[in-house]
Amino acid sequence: MTPCYNFHMKINPFLPFFSPKGIVLSGVSQDPNKLGYALARNLFLSGYPGAIHYVNPKGGELFGQKIFTSILDTPSPVDLAVLLVPPTSVPQAMKETGQRGIKAAIIATGGFKETGPEGAKLEEEVLQIAESFGIRFIGPNCIGIINTHFPFDTSFLQPPGPPAGDMAFLSHSGAICAAVIDWIRGQGGGLSHLFSLGNQTSVSESDLLNLIANDPKTKVITLYLEGVKQGGEFIRGASETVRKKPIVALKVGRYESGKRAAASHTGALAGQESAFDAAFEKAGVLRANTTEEMFQWARALAWCPLPGGNRVAVLTNSGGPGVTAADALEQHGMKLADLQDSTITALSKFLPSAASLRNPVDMLASAVPEHFSESLRLLLEDDGVDSVIVISPPPPPSTTGAVVKAMLPVIQSHNKPVLLVLMGSEQIGEAVSLARAAEIPDYRFPEAAASALGALTRYATYRIQPRNEVIGLKGIQIKKARLMTQEFLPGGWLDQDQTSGLLEAFGIQTSGLALAREKDQAVKIASKIGYPVVLKLASADISHKSDIGGVVLNLDTEEEVREAFDLILERAKQAHPQARIDGVHVQRMITGGQEVITGFVRDPQFGPMLMFGSGGVEVEGLKDVAFGLAPLSAEEAGQMVLRTWAGRKLRGFRSIAEADFCSVIDTLLRLSELAVKMPEILEMEINPLKVLEPGKGSIAIDIRAKITG
């Protein structure tokens, strides 16, 4: 007899949020003015194919079905519970959910941590009960979830619900969901899923991304974020998702982040929004600036084929909007395509002699629908064109609707993105309806179309990039590095000797320095390392030493060293009488090359965040900086450097000599490794990092490092 084996398939705990077999609604009401009634009504009218069970301690009947008095009494099948009961009743309702064997729940009730300490305590109690039963729940303080294709609607919003479509929307705010549903209906789009996540006590957006990414009905994912609970999980989940589906995020609260009390430039410049920018960049998430922009981008991402590059043709019947489009395209990283001679010749055969045949192509106001369609065909068939923006103010000879109708077969027969700018309002109704029915994104002004096309192109570029692999580095001595930090109390700044040793243990070259407690000792050190030298104040209590004249450069003689030693100590005592002064560091003077700044701080959500930019004393004024999250790959380090003027001029610019670009990348990778391998280092900065001529490397001149408190 063949042996029998028990195979246990691991069930995804979030599956009931997508396709529940049965739903129990606890807290329903027979009163049409209550949210409990709206919740039951929406699910009943949604066309949900599974079992629906209503619960209220008073019993009764609703929509022809019995109202059970307890979750425990509900029959099978049921694998999703929706709780809309008073806050103090939620713990008991969650216990009954667990006892009933239900592993997924939605808590629509408010009155938890968003209300203060008592609410937070109640929320923690609910979480502990849920975890004891292995329940994952969305909320509390949310409006529920909607799946337009399964379908089901567990919200209590006013009908009608969102039209079925291909955009998923996950929101930390419940209030915005109703407005988005109504707005998107007027834009010709639709939603596949809506998730109102509320307080995200148990389930966050990161938990749901994978299942949404595998949903064939969803083409693009939009996120309305107020923060991220677990930064590492978000980056990993989003990185995997964007290889399948684009993600567009709107992170709100951009200007209300807490101030970072930091003594270094890196810490002062790094903030919550810099961390989110770096996280989105690392994961391939497109960051929108407004809610409308998020959905305008999403329509293009859902409806258009991906472009093969950033070369754009602009077709219009009016010169002004064409120039506007050209400006906007450049702003968003696009460029006007150079049309092939054969394309220009073909256009000249039917367009007026006064028409502009160079990109943008201005057919003039006399253009008829056939001119639009034939010109568009030629542009799409040009190998130097990756995408096309068509701009049509209402043309005098015909209607905009006729223009769009003529272009539809051309657009649908080519695999390049076409975005329509249908300028106007009352006169373009037919054109808008035709475009949306054919799922061709339309915009009122060229700037919006250029912005959407920029997002589409950035996503296309990300999709074809190889995965960034973090490479192993040679010459790193972890044991030696840890010795550098053992003698220091938590929360303190390392001295320059130890910090230099820490960098050298990770293979980063320093200029070498020694502490002189007396000026005769300073002279001996200077004579040993060779002139010219630099003298720097040695004091952990004074952060920016150059601000008080605590750094003196280009000292060539013993007498200059003695004078500088006395001058530095006098300035320090006057500026900071209570500061502890250890003496003066003597350092070899490095001439030539370019100066940049680099370093890292630890973001509470996303971990170590690297910084690179223009160095010296003006770093905070210039703010020519870029951030990236560790661990960095070589590609990420390179992109980070090239986002700054400091990085671009390393390759030479006019009278500025080229510097060792590759050594900067190597330094960033080693700093990234240090940040990952040395979690006790809270903050580190090299300012300046002197970048020498190509092949000569980079040298860390001034270094600061702080131990975690």
What sign has the CA pseudo-torsion 446, 448, 450, 456? Answer: negative
pLDDT-derived band at 258 (thresholds 50, 70, 90) equals: very low
Task: Give percent above pLDDT 70 in the chain.
Answer: 94
CATH number of the structural domain spanning residue 516: 3.30.1490.20
* CA–CA separation, 30 and 255 (whole Å): 44
Instruction: Kindly state whether residues 550 and 652 are assigned to the same domain.
Output: no
What is the per-residue pLDDT for 616? Answer: 67
Q: Which range among 277-281, 695-699, 701-705 shows the weakest confidence by mean pLDDT? A: 701-705
What is the per-residue pLDDT for 259? Answer: 38
Residue 369 to residues 8, 398, 400, Cα–Cα distance (Å): 62, 7, 8
What is the per-residue pLDDT for 511? Answer: 86
Instruction: Kindly state whether residues 38 and 115 are assigned to the same domain.
Output: yes
For residues 519-529, one letter each, b for 16 or more C-beta atoms within 10 angstroms of the residue's C-beta and e for the rest, the string is bebbbebbeee
Cβ pair 57, 69 in contact under 8 A = yes
Residue of higher predicted confidence among 619 and 373: 373
Tell me the average pLDDT across 200-226: 95
Residue 498: inside a domain: no
702-708-709 Cα angle (round to 5): 125
663-667-671 Cα angle (round to 5): 170
* Residue whose structure tokens are 């003006």: 618
Instruction: Kindly state whether residues 605 and 635 are assigned to the same domain.
Output: yes
What is the per-residue pLDDT for 229? Answer: 83
The SS3 call for residue 390 is strand
Residue 659: inside a domain: yes
- Phi then psi for residue 455, to 5 deg, are -65, -45
Helices (H), 310-428: 319-331, 341-348, 369-380, 400-412
* CA–CA separation, 109 and 87 (whole Å): 6
CATH number of the structural domain spanning residue 190: 3.40.50.261
- Chain CA centroid to CA 418, Å: 26
Of 464, 479, 501, the residue that ends a domain is: 464
CATH number of the structural domain spanning residue 663: 3.30.470.20
The SS3 call for residue 597 is strand
Indicate whether 3 pLDDT > 80. no
pLDDT-derived band at 541 (thresholds 50, 70, 90) equals: confident
CA atoms within 13 A on the CB side of 57: 7
What is the per-residue pLDDT for 263? Answer: 43
Instruction: Kindly state whether residues 274 and 257 are assigned to the same domain.
Output: yes
* CA–CA separation, 410 and 390 (whole Å): 12
Instruction: Kindly state whether residues 209 and 318 are assigned to the same domain.
Output: no
62-68-72 Cα angle (round to 5): 150
What is the per-residue pLDDT for 569? Answer: 94
- Where in the sequence is the domain holding 275, given as residue range(s)? 160-303
Residue 469: inside a domain: no
Residue 275: inside a domain: yes
Indicate whether 617 pLDDT > 80. no
| SS3 assignment for 501-536 | HHHHHCCCCECCEEEECCHHHHHHHHHHHCCCEEEE
* CA–CA separation, 187 and 270 (whole Å): 38
Instruction: Kindly state whether residues 523 and 378 are assigned to the same domain.
Output: no
Instruction: Read off the DSSP letter of residue 493.
Output: B
* CA–CA separation, 586 and 584 (whole Å): 6
Instruction: Read off the DSSP letter of residue 159.
Output: S
- Chain CA centroid to CA 511, Å: 37
Six token digits for residue 327? 């400006």
Residue 378: inside a domain: yes
Cβ pair 316, 324 in contact under 8 A = no
Residue of higher predicted confidence among 582 and 351: 351
Instruction: Kindly state whether residues 635 and 535 are assigned to the same domain.
Output: no
Residue 190: inside a domain: yes
The total number of structural domains that make up the chain? 5
Indicate whether 522 pLDDT > 80. yes
- Mean pLDDT (the chain, rounded): 91
What is the per-residue pLDDT for 487? Answer: 64
For the question of whether the overall pTM of this predicted structure is more than 0.85, the answer is yes
Six token digits for residue 13? 């705990």
pLDDT-derived band at 47 (thresholds 50, 70, 90) equals: very high
* CA–CA separation, 508 and 567 (whole Å): 31
Instruction: Kindly state whether residues 679 and 648 are assigned to the same domain.
Output: yes
CATH number of the structural domain spanning residue 51: 3.40.50.720
- Phi then psi for residue 176, to 5 deg, are -75, -20
Instruction: Kindly state whether residues 529 and 638 are assigned to the same domain.
Output: no
Residue 1: inside a domain: no
The SS3 call for residue 254 is coil
Instruction: Kindly state whether residues 257 and 333 are assigned to the same domain.
Output: no
Dump pLDDT digits (tens) for 162-194: 999 999 999 998 889 988 998 888 888 899 999
Beta strands at 703-707 and 681-691: parallel, antiparallel or unpaired: antiparallel
Instruction: Kindly state whether residues 34 and 64 are assigned to the same domain.
Output: yes
Indicate whether 268 pLDDT > 60. no
What is the per-residue pLDDT for 5? Answer: 39
Residue 353: inside a domain: yes
Q: Give residue 79's identity as a one-letter amino acid code.
A: D
Task: Give percent above pLDDT 90 in the chain.
Answer: 76
* CA–CA separation, 434 and 353 (whole Å): 31
Tell me the average pLDDT across 461-480: 83
Of 254, 277, 303, the residue that ends a domain is: 303
Instruction: Kindly state whether residues 240 and 371 are assigned to the same domain.
Output: no
pLDDT-derived band at 540 (thresholds 50, 70, 90) equals: confident
Indicate whether 8 pLDDT > 80. no
DSSP string, 66-111: EEES-GGGPPSP--EEEE-S-GGGHHHHHHHHHHTT--EEEE----
What sign has the CA pseudo-torsion 633, 637, 643, 648? Answer: negative
Of 279, 303, 327, the residue that ends a domain is: 303
* CA–CA separation, 614 and 643 (whole Å): 11
Tell me the average pLDDT across 206-227: 95
Instruction: Read off the DSSP letter of residue 308.
Output: S
Q: Which range among 272-281, 316-325, 605-614, 689-698 shows the weakest confidence by mean pLDDT? A: 272-281
What is the per-residue pLDDT for 439? Answer: 95
- Chain CA centroid to CA 705, Å: 28
Q: Which range among 112-126, 327-341, 468-482, 523-537 shows the weakest confidence by mean pLDDT? A: 468-482
Cβ pair 674, 586 in contact under 8 A = no
